[in-house]
């Protein structure tokens, strides 16, 4: 359902994100990930509209920011996002973070997502940056059984093993953001050695490792060559020994950790 690889657009705005999405769609990407907080939905929508790729062939994700979680406001904010994106629906909408200090009960925001789905504003619903306890709470509320994914930070230096395993056991697909650890994978000796053995880049090794765990990857890139190599990483097979060596790189190094983040699982 969710394509195995998508294009992340965090920190990209204006012509930069338009060019990035345009190139990705030309190369064959069919999964684009954006968010209200990124401030680029209109640019992403413009790139999609001008791409020549049919809307029905694109899996488009956006995320609701935490200040719009109250039931009516969430739906209104999604309608605003659709207007910016130039479409009548997204394929997936996520709660971007758990509500800080549980200001809006998860039952209310999940209920709003379910209503948005019933109205045809989105095909699927999910969450992002939810911990094990928060996933269980979300799955337990009315409509929680419609959640399809938890989008979380995953890369070789933050394997997020317990949370990934828990989500998968609950039947959720995990989507991994920052799979290249904002470029840090390029500097790691183990990843370099494995990459040299396969005649690929450390970035491709990192993506192949995440994908081997049945996790959707959404790397961000503005360069055509990097976007192409990221796509090609989906066909790279790593040996059990190589996977174990990469597993050993986990050091709990969290990049996305704002002040309002939840109490993370170890």
At which residue do the structure tokens 């998968």 appear?
168
Region label for 93, one of left (φ > 0), alpha (ψ between -120 and 50) or beta (otherwise): beta
Give, as one character, the DSSP assignment of residue 158. Answer: B
38 is catalytic: yes
Give the separation between CA 213 and CA 32, rounded to whole angstroms. Answer: 21
Q: Which is the catalytic residue, given 10, 29, 38, 177? A: 38
Give the separation between CA 222 and CA 224, rounded to whole angstroms. Answer: 7
Give the separation between CA 240 and CA 238, rounded to whole angstroms. Answer: 7
Give the separation between CA 49 and CA 29, rounded to whole angstroms. Answer: 15
CA within 13 Å, CB half, 150: 28
Does residue 166 have a known ligand-binding role? no
Known binding-site positions for substrate: 96
Catalytic center residues: 38
Known binding-site positions: 96
């Amino acid at each position: 359902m969710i394509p195995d690889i998508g294009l992340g657009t965090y920190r990209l705005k204006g012509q930069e994100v338009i060019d990035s999405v345009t190139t990705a769609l030309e190369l064959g990407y069919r999964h684009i990930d954006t968010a209200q907080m990124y401030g680029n939905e209109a640019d992403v929508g413009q790139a999609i509209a001008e791409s020549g790729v049919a809307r029905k062939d694109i899996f488009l994700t956006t995320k609701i920011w935490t200040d719009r979680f109250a039931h009516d406001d969430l739906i209104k904010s999604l309608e605003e996002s659709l207007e910016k994106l130039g479409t009548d629906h997204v394929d997936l909408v996520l709660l971007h973070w758990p509500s800080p200090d549980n200001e809006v009960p998860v039952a209310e925001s999940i209920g709003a997502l379910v209503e948005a789905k019933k109205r045809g504003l989105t095909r699927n619903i999910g969450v992002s940056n939810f911990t094990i306890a928060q996933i269980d709470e979300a799955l337990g509320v009315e409509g929680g059984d419609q959640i399809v994914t938890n989008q979380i930070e995953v890369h070789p230096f933050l394997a997020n093993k317990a949370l990934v395993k828990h989500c998968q056991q609950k039947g959720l697909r995990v989507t991994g953001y920052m799979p290249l650890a904002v470029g840090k994978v390029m500097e790691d000796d183990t990843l370099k050695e494995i990459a040299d053995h396969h005649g690929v880049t450390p970035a491709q090794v990192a993506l192949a490792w995440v994908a081997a765990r049945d996790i959707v990857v959404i790397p961000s890139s503005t360069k055509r060559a990097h976007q192409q190599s990221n796509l090609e990483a989906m066909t790279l097979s790593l040996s059990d020994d190589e996977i174990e060596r990469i597993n050993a790189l986990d050091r709990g190094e969290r990049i996305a950790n704002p002040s309002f983040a939840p109490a993370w699982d170890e």
